[in-house]
């Protein structure tokens, strides 16, 4: 996958993530460069962005930093093979203090 293809896929995925958090009622802002900043009621934040050089989506959350690569139509964690959407739900739930269901559009 070249950089143009990656950036197109990452932009679509980040837009889906933004929509999913909004649908879940969680405050999300898009910062310059397409960086997603999610703020939780306890003041903690989650940052999600793309890293074009590595061809990954990066997530910085209270529980740590995570990298995801596209693989067969899914984004897979580089360390543990976790699905991006399942990881986002787990990470958001840890910060929200309650279950969070995110549905990709």
pTM listed for this prediction? 0.92
Contact in structure between 45 and 37 (CB atoms under 8 Å): yes
pLDDT at 101: 92
Domains of the chain: 3-96 (3.30.920.10)
| Gap between the Cα atoms of 76 and 15, Å rounded | 18
End-to-end CA distance of the chain: 23
Give the tens place of pLDDT for each residue, 51-96.
999 999 999 999 999 999 999 989 999 999 999 999 999 999 999 9
Give the tens place of pLDDT for each residue, 23-43.
998 989 999 988 999 999 899
Phi then psi for 33, rounded to 5 degrees?
85, 5
Residue 105 has pLDDT above 70, yes or no: no
């Amino acid at each position: 996958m070249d950089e143009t293809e990656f950036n197109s896929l990452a932009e679509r995925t980040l837009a889906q993530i933004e929509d999913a958090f909004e649908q879940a009622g969680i405050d999300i802002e898009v910062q310059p460069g397409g960086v997603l900043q999610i703020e939780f009621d306890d003041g903690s934040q989650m940052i999600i962005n793309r890293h074009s050089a590595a061809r990954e989506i990066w997530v910085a959350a209270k529980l740590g930093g995570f990298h995801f690569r596209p693989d067969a139509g899914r984004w897979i964690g580089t360390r543990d093979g976790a699905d991006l959407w399942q990881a986002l739900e787990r990470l958001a739930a840890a910060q929200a203090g309650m279950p969070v269901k995110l549905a990709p559009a």
